[in-house]
Structure 1
Amino acid sequence: MSSSTAPAVSSSSRLSTGQMLALLAACTLVMGAGWGIRGAFGHSRGAMMPGAMLGATLAVLAMRPDWWRRAAILAFVCSIGWGVGGQSSYGIIIGYSKGGTLRNSLFGYASLWLVGGLYSGIGAGFLGLALTKSRSWLQQFIWPLTIMYSAWLGIVYLSLLEPIFEHFLGQGEATADAWWHHLNLFRESLLYYEGGEEVRGYTYWLHDTNWLSVLLTIGINGLLWVAVPRWRNANALILLLAVGWFAGMYFLIDLAGLRMNPHRAETWAGVLGMQIALAGYTIYHRNWATFMLVSYGFIAGAFGFSLADFIQMVGTAKWGPIGKYAWLQEFGYWTVMEQLFGCLMGFGTALGLIRLVNKGLAPPAEDTSSKSIDIFSLFFVFGMLLVFNFKKPLTVWLRESDISGILFTFPTGNWALPVTILYLSVLLYFLSRLHSGKLAMVPATHLGQAQLQAFLINLAVLLMYLLIGQISSTNLFTFLSAITIGLLILFSVDLKPVDIQNAHLPAESFTWFPGPLHWLLWAASPFVLWGIATITIQFGMKQNQYRFPEDAPPPKEEEKEPAEPQNSTGLLPIRQPLGYLIDEMNLPHFDRC
């Protein structure tokens, strides 16, 4: 890979007005479209795609030669950061915000404020670490993350162990089923109900969360911290975040009894624990530049989600011009909400980047010539991330009668694994050639490489969405337009790089601490939430979901025919298998979180 960084043009130490507007516009549009696309995929893996899009886009448009060099790393860390918040469930709390009572609506909006902040706060924090830490520090994460993710995949695909259980633990069907039942119970770790009463088992307070993955993370990194001293910086941060997750779940859910989603995943508490741990880490190390990005990202996501949901309520109620003009009713306002949320996250993150650039953040130390972290990042973003999200369109395809048949004597679904292996193998070969500098198709400059990466990841996510097939013309037009405009900005922006020769302000300088105007936004949050909740209940929409039972109206008395008694051969009702209960309750399975 070439060491050349930028075209020979004059430069200044600050972004021009045009460059700042380009950065704000592109990040806003790309993240908005990406987050709307994320809605079709869901959960953490879906949230990683817009994170990667944002990281790749801002790496180019920040016009810092040292950040162009780290473009692949920025796309990777943003995908991981925004994916962390993707664990949080928010469907029910959006239902609360719809109204019924002021308290119910306010609780919904306040919960969305918190969940939105967690989405963006952790993502912006990871971005800050990638912009301020040395290359050798970042490279310590390669093997710990690889080992961790391999262990997580082992949990998700425990079903592959069923034949082994059957072989070693007995040939009888009853024996195999019994062992598999216990293994599946351990894997799912879900809260379930029996006869209307909660079964308080050892997983009760964990409330439908990926606790086993977090526990494995602690175990693996604890062992690696002892066994491999050169990885200890990475192990220490990962351990801190994992312990923060458990602390959040324990103190907020088990001790304090705070429930945002009764009967649903309460992962928000664990993610909040991680957010506090990350903020504490930056404060302890006096990395005020990263702390500033954490705070900027959090407040942008917090206002983004709550205000975007308010717009959704306006659209659902067909208030004002939306009720008057039919064309405004063509928009799916749930998707509009997701896009507006993404737009505000991208806008807030870009504001933080502008401050870092214009105040002259010192370049991070390039203290090793190794490019391993770049290759690792590219393999994750263009390999694992796309492969695991391809599960969504593949599932849709297999439901269609014209594609779920036989292809070359093999069922269509059986082609997924060999094609995946082939794609990843070709990608690895491609990256090995890139690492050795033998790939002529890649631009010679870091700017050119960063532009190519941003173009490819934005295009790949859009194509992934198109592969689903079941999409509305309105959404397609919106996503295609936003990404196209973002890419046009990406390739037409003024190519004058920022002069980093005069960028000497270290990340540890307290100058980066957010100013009074920023904290005014935090102080204004309760008043804004109260205001939009007050307006929402005036819409008078039908409400079915209440967080507090005393807020719900009394049920209407209806004459009901007596239910026929079920035939039973025993004194106790038959207990259905765990999988049946999970499907009936519509709870997310482990491998979908």
Structure 2
Amino acid sequence: MRQSTQKNYTLLFTALVLGLGWAVRGHFGHEWGAAWAGAMGALAIVVSSGRADWQQSAPKLAALGAVGWAIGGMMSYGMIVGYCRGTEFLNVAYGYTMLLIVGGLYGFMGGGLLGLGLESSEDKKIDFPTLFTQMLAGGWLFWGLVIFQLEWLMTPPRSELWAACFGAAIALAWYLYREGFYKALRVAAYAALGGGFGFSFGNFIQTLGSASGYIYNWWNVMEFTLGFCGGLGMAYAVKTSNWKTSLKPSKTANWLALLFVFFAVPATNYITSFDKKHLTQLAANLKIQNVEQFVKNQQLIVALVLLFFVIASISQWKAFQKQDKHENSPIAVYLLFGISFYYILFAYLLHGLFLKPIDLYHSESLYVPILLMIFALWFFQKDKKENVSKHIKVKESWRTWAIIGVGLLLVILIMTSISINAHEGLGGMHNRF
């Protein structure tokens, strides 16, 4: 009973963290927004695992999670969402299926790179130059073949970089299989399953929400669902695998990873999101009189927030390294909740939410309550964590995956049938055929 409770805690904890991260990511978008969410998901795995070896690698694992989930940020899916808002069965089914693929690619690379970090050991090290070279080559070749030679377009006239991500995912899968990183491959597969289902089902919720006429940020609900289900799949695979002691990274690698996660990712989001054009428009929406001063103040506040969290993370990691024993250190907890609150603050400042009344009709109002829920989960389970390697191990057959595939197909058909009968066409709808 206790074992089952602990596993459920890990699943829910990670799902909520990545769901929250992906919801906040919706305000920043693209690769660098996804990187922040990916780092949160990786740290959630570390915090809930109860493993000292993973805690010593927390910055490196966070960076791998960030890079993995970020790669998919280059994909365009606005048109695909529009296909699901139509009334023709073929177009809507196509839309849900393509979202399954796009979400699956997010999860596969996010889970795969994190799994690599977890499975690496003294006798099984990662050749990162080879891996990333092969992923780059695989992405470029597959993109060229599918898009320019075969002309299999998913989202015309939008970017077709999904094909590059698909090629990179194939290269990653082959590397994991060839080098014997089977547990990492399993994490990639389950994260893909969760991410793909979450994206498709999340858009189903968005479609029904829009059809209901209830005004809400249903798009953000879709994003949360993608992250929640992706985190669920990733955590399940980690929790039901037997992990050896992972390779401890060098001090330099951890420091570089820490700076990447707490400085480079936020700084890039700062540069791309808090520009003068956006803040000027925000000032107009808030009816600010002195626009120029408002822009300067907002940029200064965000810069100070960035500086504070960079200094805080460096101080905490430096103190952690000086400790003789790391088993009971809360360093991963500090990093996780620090980076999560950091991200929420950025989102709130981006929308000027401290300068207007709280509106429960906006999804942003739920970010802090969700973070508090995550904290409560950790607080009440922090003394009950068991080492992740002690849990029951599950091994799937090809038959299992075939059943899962058929199940997903049936779910898509059911969602399509419900969607086309729930409305007579929604705003933003598109037809692929």
TM exceeding 0.5:
yes
More helix by share: 2
SS at the partner of 1:331? coil
- Alignment CA distance shift 1:25-1:432 (3 Å): closer
- Alignment CA distance shift 1:243-1:405 (3 Å): same
Structure 2 counterparts to residues 213-362 of structure 1, below 5 A? 233-318=127-212, 329-356=214-241, 360-362=242-244
Q: Deviations over 1:370-407 (max 9, x none)?
A: 31121111111110111111232454434425564259
- Cα distance in 2 for partners of 1:436, 1:478 equals 33
Residue aligning to 2:356: none
SS at the partner of 1:120? helix
- Cα distance in 2 for partners of 1:516, 1:449 equals 41
Whichever residue aligns with residue 422 of structure 2, its letter is F
SS at the partner of 1:296? helix
- Cα distance in 2 for partners of 1:418, 1:538 equals 46
- Cα distance in 1 for partners of 2:235, 2:335 equals 19
- Alignment CA distance shift 1:76-1:501 (3 Å): closer
- Alignment CA distance shift 1:24-1:286 (3 Å): same
- Bigger Rg, structure 1 or 2: 1
- Alignment CA distance shift 1:390-1:525 (3 Å): same
- Alignment CA distance shift 1:477-1:419 (3 Å): closer
TM-score calculated relative to the size of structure 1: 0.64
Q: How far does residue 15 in structure 1 lie from its aligned partner after superposition?
A: 7.6
C-alpha contact (below 8 Å) 1:118/1:275 kept by paired residues? yes
Q: How far does residue 97 in structure 1 lie from its aligned partner after superposition?
A: 1.2
- Cα distance in 2 for partners of 1:457, 1:428 equals 12
Residue aligning to 2:106: 119
Whichever residue aligns with residue 341 of structure 1, its letter is L
Whichever residue aligns with residue 332 of structure 1, its letter is N
- Cα distance in 1 for partners of 2:202, 2:49 equals 27
* Alignment counterpart, residue 373 of structure 1, candidates 238, 253, 257: 253
Whichever residue aligns with residue 430 of structure 2, its letter is Q
Residue aligning to 1:390: 270
C-alpha contact (below 8 Å) 1:291/1:513 kept by paired residues? no
- Cα distance in 1 for partners of 2:398, 2:51 equals 24
- Cα distance in 2 for partners of 1:87, 1:264 equals 12
Q: Deviations over 1:109-138 (max 9, x none)?
A: 111110010111110001100101147987
- Cα distance in 2 for partners of 1:363, 1:517 equals 29
Residue aligning to 1:453: 335
- Cα distance in 2 for partners of 1:414, 1:36 equals 22
Q: How far does residue 525 in structure 1 lie from its aligned partner after superposition?
A: 2.3
SS at the partner of 2:74? coil
Unaligned runs of 5+ in 1: 1-13, 141-232, 324-328, 506-510, 549-593
TM-score calculated relative to the size of structure 2: 0.86
- Cα distance in 2 for partners of 1:433, 1:62 equals 20
Residue aligning to 1:487: 375
- Alignment CA distance shift 1:537-1:24 (3 Å): same
Does structure 1 residue 42 correspond to structure 2 residue 26?
no
- Alignment CA distance shift 1:496-1:525 (3 Å): closer
Q: Deviations over 1:218-240 (max 9, x none)?
A: xxxxxxxxxxxxxxx22111110
Q: How far does residue 264 in structure 1 lie from its aligned partner after superposition?
A: 0.9
SS at the partner of 2:27? helix
**What is the percent sequence identity of the aligned residues?**
26
C-alpha contact (below 8 Å) 1:68/1:446 kept by paired residues? no
SS at the partner of 1:390? helix
C-alpha contact (below 8 Å) 1:97/1:108 kept by paired residues? yes
Q: Deviations over 1:85-117 (max 9, x none)?
A: 111111111101112311111111111110010
Q: Deviations over 1:488-520 (max 9, x none)?
A: 2223314355458989x9xxxxx8566643442
Does structure 1 residue 464 correspond to structure 2 residue 352?
no
Whichever residue aligns with residue 97 of structure 2, its letter is A
- Cα distance in 1 for partners of 2:424, 2:299 equals 48
- Cα distance in 1 for partners of 2:381, 2:404 equals 31
Structure 1 runs (4+) deviating above 6 angstroms are 135-138, 413-418, 436-440, 500-503
Whichever residue aligns with residue 379 of structure 2, its letter is F
- Cα distance in 1 for partners of 2:302, 2:28 equals 23
Q: How far does residue 469 in structure 1 lie from its aligned partner after superposition?
A: 2.6
Structure 2 counterparts to residues 60-139 of structure 1, below 5 A? 60-134=47-121
Residue aligning to 1:532: 415
Whichever residue aligns with residue 52 of structure 1, its letter is A
SS at the partner of 2:240? helix
- Alignment CA distance shift 1:66-1:466 (3 Å): same
- Cα distance in 2 for partners of 1:455, 1:354 equals 21
C-alpha contact (below 8 Å) 1:84/1:122 kept by paired residues? yes
**Aligned-residue CA RMSD (Å):** 3.3
- Alignment CA distance shift 1:118-1:434 (3 Å): closer
- Cα distance in 2 for partners of 1:65, 1:448 equals 10
Whichever residue aligns with residue 86 of structure 2, its letter is G
Unaligned runs of 5+ in 2: 354-358
Q: Deviations over 1:139-171 (max 9, x none)?
A: x8xxxxxxxxxxxxxxxxxxxxxxxxxxxxxxx
- Alignment CA distance shift 1:72-1:418 (3 Å): closer
Q: How far does residue 251 in structure 1 lie from its aligned partner after superposition?
A: 1.5
Structure 2 counterparts to residues 147-186 of structure 1, below 5 A? none
